[in-house]
Every structure is written in structure tokens, then in C-alpha cells.
Amino acid sequence: MSALTAVRGGAPPAPAEPVRRRRRWVPYALLLPGLVWLAVFFLAPMATLFSTSLQVGSIDEGYRPAFRVANYTEALSAFSEQFFRSFGYAAMATVLALLVSYPLAYAIAFKAGRWKNVLLVLVIAPFFTSFLVRTLAWTAILGDQGLLLGQLKEIGVLSPDFRLLARPFAVILGLTYNFLPFMTLPLYASLERIDRRLLEAAGDLYSSAFTTFRKVTFPLSLPGVVAGTLLTFIPAAGDYINQRLLGTPRQSMIGTVIDSQFLRVLDYPSAAALSFTLMVSIVVLVWFYVRRAGTEELV
Amino acid sequence: MASAATTLTGAPGAPGAPGAPGAPGAPGATRRGPSLPTRVLRFVSRHLVATAAALTLLYMFLPVFVVVLFSFNDPAGRLNYTWNSFTVSNWANVCGVPGMCDAVWLSIQIALLATVVATGLGTLIAFALARHRFRGRAATNLLIFLPMATPEVVMGSSMLALFVNANLIALGFWTILLAHVMFCISFVVVTVKARLSGMDARLEQAAMDLYADEWSTFRRITLPLAMPGIVAAALLAFALSFDDFIITNFNSGSTVTFPMYVWGAAQRGVPPQVNVIGALMFLVALAVVLGGQLANAARTRRP
């Protein structure tokens, strides 16, 4: 980060914090209400989730506190398929989102000129409409007699039983679509921050446009790539809206299972075990990924 | 002429093969200029990037177009997935389907309350992080970051686990509100903090040099400068709360917010009025953002 800050051009380097006599308790007073809220409604639920995941009993007799680790092994062996599918779909959606977003973010950062703000509004505007409504719109587009296939089938390009919905394709397309701004905006932010003089310098040193991109632009945009891929991958791995609306039970993801175990089967311990495992595996993945990518400050 | 030829020969393999063999017929006279592959790549970067960007925007807007289009559809049967005929009756009778407008109104109430609380709490944290030194900064940053790095399904199910185990409060309006405030706080902190750390600290120092005390510096300098960030954070919180499905689904009991209504309707057949609400959300949010941009432009133009 410090290297990036050092080469940043526009804003003057942030001066060291002014030496002021401040009352010591002020920051804690500012932090207290919000952090208490997060402790009670984020940390405490996580702890409860963990203790629930080890409980024994049934919904009729009630669940009792225990330390039954077998809840984990049973739940994971029953639903490992959904786990791997979630991570696979999320990874594919993330890569696709990166490929689709990068040119757009690049164009806005470097080529838009005075249209920059308009384009940024256009990037987020589609996501103003409801998540569920826009996902349902894809069923109208991809449906068997929908806007896309209906026409192609009528002119005989496709056979009448060709389908896009209810296939992994539709679920991955929906996941890619729904989290696009989370990829585009961090990418844009890091591209925008690049000092143009570095790119000019590369050109002056006879670097081709592609080499400049590979050796200067892309490495400097890595914080955006890291943030964007995380912000896409994490919600995509836990999502089940796209699977439920665009897919079939054959594309079940882990979110689907957690939802139904918690809300319909009412098997709280196994649902909690799955949920907690999802949380831990994502934290571990993020941890390794961020360390490899070498970006410390994400917030 | 030459550039057209380059495009034809070079474009297809260009992005993947930077060291593509220079065209054998490259005329010697152009040696002074950039090499052929460079010119190809320059062309590619000039036009392919724009084309790809436009395609991405198209991908982004296609569903919105469909949402608006189908809000004018008069569906043949229960399902509003195939175009039948044009009508404005869905817009004229938005509340014609039972329960939907109640759900929208409930979502607005929850989102307004969640926005006020989360923006307040989050702004205070952002000021502490951006303007103060204190012990425990790393832990605070982590606690702010974690809810954003946690899948909604985990947050939703963990809160349900808490509410079920504690058994103090019935699932419904209040549990939804508690949950929404929780996941909005982090986004508010990040948005306001970004604005605060982008501000020139010398302005505040100048105010202090001119004998403003800490409070009037805050009120006359810091707060007005931070306001766009706070407003943006509030709008973001409203949008996040209004549109949340997964966390709400776990903690709503039998309370029906708009996303819950759409989810229920999706199992039976979505009435076209849902598309009207979807289109309205898009238009209202667009108007708010464009209005903000215009106001911003007007403010910066004023001396």
C-alpha cells in the first residue's frame, strides 16, 4: 500500500496526524455504540451458531447443548457435493466477472473523459432494481420460449428442446451478473488511482502498449483485482437465489441446503454446522488469497 | 490503408500473442514509427476495449430493459415470462395484487429506520478511525471488515440461531431491523471513512490556525466536507436494506417484505405489478443519483 501511496499523484500526501491534545476517551465513545451493535448481532450470533452446531436432540424433543463433533462429519459427508459445487460456481462466476468488468473499468478510468461520472452511474444503475426481480428477468430472457431462444427456435437455428435455463450455465450467468458492480467499482478505483506519468514513462522507454499493460497497469490495479474478486466470490459462494430461480435442485448450492435445513427441515445443528463450515472455509480462503496477493489493507 | 490491413491481420490473435511475428511485408519507411504489433495493440486498446466495455454495459442493462418491458405486458396466463400484449393497466393498478403494496411499504419503513440507525453508528466509527489514534484499531478494522466478508447465508442463519436460542424476541419486524442495521454499519463506515481520508487535513488545520475551536472546526469545516460521504452511505444503506432477501428470509418469521413477497410469488407466478415496482425502484434510484450529481456539479461551479 505504501508504495502505491508514494506514487499516487493527485492528492497531496496525507500529512501526519496533527498533534493535538485530545481527550483520550473520545474515540472510544465514538466507537462504542456501533461496535456494541456488531458484537451483539454479529459476534454473538457467530458464537451461538458454533454452539448450536454441536447440539444434540431433535426438533420435537428440543435441542440440548452438547459437544457432538459428529454433526460436522455427518453434515459434510451428506452435502460435500453442494459445497464443492458452490465454490466451483463462485470461482467461475468470479473469473467471468473479472474478464467482463476489466475492460469496462479500464475504459471508464482511462478513456471516458468527461463522461466518467455518467458511466459510473450507468454501472450501478442496473443494480438499483430489485435483486430478485432482475434475476427473474433472466428467466424471461433465457426461458425455453423466451426472448432469446424463442426467436432462434422459430427460425430453426436451435432444436425445440434446447435449453439454457435449469442448467449450470444459467446459474453461473446469474451469479456473474448479479455481483458485477462489486467487481467493476474496485477495479475502477484502483485503475483511476494510477499515476498517468508512469504509463507515459513506460511509453517513453519504448514499452509497447501491451507490455505497459502487463508490467505497469495490471500490477498497479492488483489491489482492485483482489478486492473485486473477493467481493464477488464471497457473496456468490453463499448465494442460493440464482440457483433457486434459474436452476434446478440438480444445481443445489450450499446456501440452498443451509436454508432448507434451517427453515424447513428444522435440523438446526446440522444447518449450523454447514453454515459455520462455510464461514470458516471462506475466511481461510480469503486469508491465503490476500496473503498471496500481498494486499493488507482492504477496508 | 495500412492501419486497416493491420487490423485485419493482427486483431484476432492480438491480445494473447504480444510477440506475434511482425508482418513480413512491413514497409521499411515506417520504421521510425512504432512497430507493427504495437500499432495493432494500440488499435486494439483503442477500440476493442471500448467495444468490450459497451458489451458489458449491454449485459448489465439487458435485464433492466426486460423488467421495464414486461411491466407493460398483459400476460396470457399465470406466468409473466413470455410477451403477450401491451397494456398500461399494471402501472394503473400497481396495488391491484393483494399484499404487494403492503410488503413494499413495510420494506420502506424498515429501510428508513435501518438507514438512520446504521448511518449514525457507522459515521461515528468512521470519524474515530479517520481522525483519532487509539488502541485496538486493528481489532476494530477487523470487526468492520468481517460482516462484509461473511456470506449473507451465514449471517442470516447465525442470527436465527441467536434468536431461536435466546428466545427473547419474536421473529418479525424488529428482528429484521436489528439484522439490517448490523449488515449496513460496515458499508457506512467504509463509505464515510473513504470520504474523510480523501479530505485535505490542512483545511482543518487552517481553521484551527484561525482560532476556530475543535467544535466549530468540526461543525463548519469537517462535517460539511464529509456530508457527501454520509449521504452516499445513507443511500447505500437504504438500498441494501430495501433489497435484502437472504438475511431477511432467515429472520422474518411470517413478516413479508417486498423481496419476500417476490420470492413467494416466484413459486406461483409473478404478477406483472412486481415488474412495475422493479422499474420504479430503478427510476427513483436513478433520479436520486443523477440529482445528486447535478447538485454536486452546481456546487463546484459556484465560486
By Cβ distance, the residue of A122, A208, A230 closest to B41 is A208
| Cβ of residue B182 closer than 8 Å to a chain A Cβ | yes
pLDDT digits (tens, 9 = 90+) for A42-93: 999 999 999 999 999 888 888 888 889 899 999 999 999 999 999 999 999 9
CB distance from B216 to chain A under 8 Å?
no
Q: Give the mean model confidence (pLDDT) for residues B258-269.
A: 92
pLDDT at B22 > cutoff 70: no
On whether any CB of chain B is under 8 Å from the CB of A286, the answer is yes
Q: Is the pLDDT of residue A12 over 50?
A: no
Selected residue with higher pLDDT from B152 and B14: B152
Q: Domain B98-270: give its CATH superfamily.
A: MetI-like (1.10.3720.10)
CB-CB neighbors (< 8 A) of A146 in chain B: 81-82
Residues of chain B in contact with residue A145, where contact means CB-CB under 8 angstroms, are 81-82
* Cβ neighbours of B269 in A, within 8 Å: none
Chain A hits for B63, CB-CB cut-off 8 Å, are: 126, 129, 134-135, 137-138, 141, 177
Contacting A residues, span 78-117, partner chain B, CB-CB under 8 Å: 100-101, 103-104, 106-108, 111, 117
**With 70 as the cut, is the pLDDT of residue B1 above it?**
no
Q: Report the pLDDT averaged over residues B70-86.
A: 83
Structure pTM?
A: 0.83
More confident residue, A223 or B14: A223
Domain residue spans in chain B?
A: 2-59, 98-270
Residues 6+ apart with CB under 8 A from A169: none
Residue A224, CA distances (Å) to A101, A261, B57 in order: 11, 36, 19
Residue of B nearest to A62 (CA): B165
Q: What pLDDT is stored for residue B207 in this prediction?
A: 87
In this complex, which of B38, B57, B125 lies closest to A104 when CB atoms are compared?
A: B57
Using the predicted structure, report yes or no on whether residue B32 has a pLDDT greater than 70.
no
Distance CA A184, CA A229 (A): 10
C-alpha cell belonging to residue A3:
508504495
Given pLDDT bands bounded at 50, 70 and 90, which one contains residue B4? very low
| Least-confidence region, from A83-97, B81-95, B269-283 | B81-95
Chain B: residue nearest A261 by CA?
B157
Selection from B246, B275, B273 nearest residue B260 by Cα: B246
Residues 6+ apart with CB under 8 A from A139: A146, A165, A245, A246, B81
Whole-number percent of chain A with pLDDT over 70: 91
pLDDT of residue A22: 58
With CB atoms and an 8 Å threshold, state whether A126 touches B56.
no
Mapped onto helix, strand or coil, the DSSP state of residue A56 is strand
Residue A111 and residue B50: Cβ atoms within 8 Å?
yes
Q: Which chain A residues are closer than 8 Å to B75 by Cβ?
A: none
Residues in chain B: 303
By the CB < 8 Å criterion, does A239 face chain B? yes
How far away is chain B from the Cα of A49, in angstroms, using its nearest Cα? 5
Which pLDDT score is estimated for B11? 38
The chain-wide mean pLDDT, for chain A, equals 86
Chain A with chain B: Cβ pairs closer than 8 A: 297
Confidence class for position B31, pLDDT limits 50, 70, 90: low
Residue A36 and residue A42 in contact, taking contact as beta carbons nearer than 8 Å? no
Q: How far apart are CA B174 and CA B251, in angstroms?
A: 9
Q: Are the Cβ atoms of A279 and B154 closer than 8 angstroms? A: yes
Higher-pLDDT residue of A10 and B138 is B138
Of B144, B157, B205, the CB nearest to A18: B205
Interface contact flag, A30 B127, Cβ < 8 Å: yes
**Does any CB of chain B come closer than 8 Å to the CB of residue A39?**
yes
Hey, what CATH class is A80-293 in? mainly alpha
- List Cβ neighbours of A299 (8 Å cut-off, separation of 6 or more): B141, B144, B145, B190, B193
Sequence ranges of the domains in chain A: 80-293
Contacts of A273 (CB under 8 A, 6+ apart): A53, A71, A72, A75, A76
C-alpha–C-alpha distance, residues A204 and B195, integer Å: 35
Q: Residue B126 CA to chain centroid, in angstroms?
A: 19
Report pLDDT for B44. 64
CB contact under 8 A, A48 and B158: yes
Q: What are phi and psi of A239, to 5 degrees?
A: -75, 145
Report B:53-112 residues touching A (Cβ under 8 A): 53, 56-57, 59-64, 66-67, 70, 80-83
